[in-house]
Amino acid sequence: MTNRRKFLTTAGLGGAAVLAAPATIRAQSTIKWRMQTYSGAPLGAHVIKPQIEAFNKAANGEMEIELFYSDQLVPTNELFRALQSGTLDAVQSDDATMSSPADISDFGGYFPFSTRYSLDMPVLFERYGLNKIWKEAYDEIEGVEWLGAGAWDPLHIFTTKKAIRSLEDMRGLRVFGVPTAGRFLAKYGLIPVTVPWEDVDVALQTGELDGVAWCGFTEAYEVGWADICKYVLLNNVTGAWCGSYFANSKSWAAIPEHLQELFRMSMDQSHYYRQVWYWGGEADLRVNGGKLEKTTISTEEWDTVVADAEGFWDELASRNPRSAKVIEIFRRYKKVMEEAGIPYRYS
């Protein structure tokens, strides 16, 4: 009774307020992050904007991420350096395009014939060990945290004036694309050209570019390249682009664990959104798009490209032990999928 009377007499002096204080203590001020994606605004509206909007809402004032699109704060090929220095707090990109110094960076983006379908990518990371390899690689690099990877769309070649119906038709075509796939396709005479993402439309219209080897149907339609290009080659070099999320180490360490977990959950939400958006979009636009003439290279000739990829894999595997581990996983996974048969592989 004495304690109870004491509480009643002190309630007006703050006793009741102390009793009602919430168990969770919120930050005194909102944590602010600056994040840049590899993608331009039309594409970013799907590949990242829904995620960041959801995260900001769920963070409930504790944290806010300001999103920037391709080249808005720094050029895309300087994303890694800007992240490491703290100019950016977070980045969404593939390893190769952002000029990552990691010894596995060539596998980010489109690595020739490493996947057949978009679902292959998360399985390779979650069940075959690529998660561990990527983490090990980035743990050796100061200032950057690798947070996880996901799948995007397949790689097709879209052209403005010249249809591709044979490997010889590729010769001399200047295409905008991602680094590793560009190096591989250069074997057949394609000329990889780098321009800012926002300038691709104009470069296609002026003839500075003959096409793009950057994406699948969904992106080509979404960003307007299907309105400029006339042809699309159905033979694809890779079934899915490999993109990752990165954070500046100090920025990541400065946010509480529950916000770290919330960000990881929003990444998973983004991966799921893209799986549905791309998988449904690719099929629908192939059938109902109506803007592009579809061409193919014969199976006999395309089989030589698939065979050439084996040599490309060997070349990458010889560079360092970690790359050799990645290639070994690709080969093991490919063997399992082929032996599993339908619906995992049809041929």
Mean pLDDT by 10 residues, the chain (347 residues): 41 41 59 97 96 98 98 96 98 96 96 96 98 98 98 98 98 94 95 93 97 97 98 96 98 98 98 96 97 97 96 96 98 97 88
Residues 6+ apart with CB under 8 A from 232: 156, 157, 158, 159, 217, 220, 292, 293, 294, 295
Instruction: Assign 276 to helix, strand or coil.
Output: helix
Asked whether residue 133 is domain-assigned, the answer is yes
Same domain, 179 and 84: no
Write down the pTM of the prediction. Answer: 0.89
pLDDT digits (tens, 9 = 90+) for 164-210: 999 999 999 999 998 999 999 999 999 999 999 999 999 999 999 99
C-alpha 191/C-alpha 205 separation (Å) is 17
C-alpha 143/C-alpha 187 separation (Å) is 36
Asked whether residue 9 is domain-assigned, the answer is no
Query: Which CATH number goes with the domain that contains 192?
Result: 3.40.190.170
Asked whether residue 163 is domain-assigned, the answer is yes
Residues 6+ apart with CB under 8 A from 16: none
Provide the residue range defining the domain that includes 143: 31-153+241-285
Same domain, 45 and 181: no
Same domain, 277 and 328: no
CB count in 10 Å sphere of residue 54: 16
Asked whether residue 23 is domain-assigned, the answer is no
Same domain, 61 and 161: no
**Residue 178, pLDDT score:** 84
C-alpha 139/C-alpha 233 separation (Å) is 39
107 touches 114 (CB < 8 A)? yes
Alpha-carbon dihedral of residues 315, 325, 308, 183, nearest 10 degrees?
A: -60
